[in-house]
Structure 1
């Protein structure tokens, strides 16, 4: 009887723990974006740790490289790394224009395609499909193709 009770308790405990464990099993690294008007990057995985940076750019792409109990260790475009609460992040893919000088946003994925807009470094847009060195980017409804080499947040994390 005691053995049956222990088996029942063990099975019940596993059923409760399994969903939480699966939530921590995301394939790493992966891309995410800041999904809050204000997000804190901390030195450790918890509110008791000091804040190193306060981000006010909703949509900024980040690369998630580790996870611990509701916290994500992220890298942002300039290489800064720290811990961010998971509720401040979205799996929505965005990208930021990097490099020196402006980059062309084209109507099609080719250097010869008509120019739609010029984008400055630091512009953030929602990322679409990428193929053959080009990515679709939507910057506040302005859509076009940008060279993938000028985007941080595109490609494999």
Structure 2
């Protein structure tokens, strides 16, 4: 009985298994990888305790483009977590596939190329949200406030350390 309940919860996306294989780490609704990063499409979004309108609202995200990590899916709902590890269930219509990152280092240097010895094009303050571009092994190209350049992945939240993009 317990095994059946655990399997049902896993299939519904209400439970995840750490170290799951690639076949098991796909969302049951979208078939997209879990976990994965997205951003807030709306300027305001309720975060609920469970995947329905009947569940209590724990708080409200009020920052458009905020990067979030989807950790589970259930129908039209996505369980997300933010940079601080706080999370809950958000309706999928409030989320966007546009990738953004949160700057985690104050006065982060943006370089012209993915190399710390290259010229600095701009500096970004701690907490700035930037749009994510290409990513190499240790660097990502980002843009914010009309400035763009390359930053070390370690200074960004919203991109997986092994993620490559082009």
TM-score range, shorter chain: 0.7 to 0.9
Structure 2 counterpart SS, 1:47: coil
Distance 1:51 1:22, change over 3 A: closer
Runs of 4+ in structure 1 over 4 Å off: none
Alignment correspondent of 1:43 = 49
Asked if 1 retains the 8 angstrom alpha-carbon contact of 2:111 and 2:121, the reply is yes
Any gaps of 5 or more consecutive residues in structure 1?
1-20
Alignment correspondent of 1:92 = 98
Structure 1 residue aligned with 2:147, among 134, 142, 146?
Answer: 142
Structure 2 counterpart SS, 1:149: helix
Asked if 1 retains the 8 angstrom alpha-carbon contact of 2:45 and 2:94, the reply is yes
Shift of 1:116: 1.2
Shift of 1:22: 7.2
CA distance in 2, matches of 1:128, 1:103: 16
Higher helix proportion: 1
Query: Superposition RMSD on alpha carbons, in Å?
Result: 1.8
Asked if 1 retains the 8 angstrom alpha-carbon contact of 2:28 and 2:73, the reply is no
Asked if 2 retains the 8 angstrom alpha-carbon contact of 1:24 and 1:69, the reply is no
TM-score normalised by structure 1 residue count: 0.80
CA distance in 2, matches of 1:119, 1:62: 20
Alignment correspondent of 2:87 = 81
CA distance in 2, matches of 1:111, 1:54: 38
Any gaps of 5 or more consecutive residues in structure 2?
1-26
* Alpha-carbon displacement from aligned partner over 1:79-118 (angstroms, at most 9, x marks no partner): 101100000001111100114x321111111111111111
- Report matched runs for 1:5-154 at 5 Å: 23-99=29-105, 101-154=106-159
Alignment correspondent of 1:9 = none
TM-score normalised by structure 2 residue count: 0.76
CA distance in 2, matches of 1:102, 1:40: 31
CA distance in 2, matches of 1:65, 1:31: 9
Shift of 1:139: 0.6
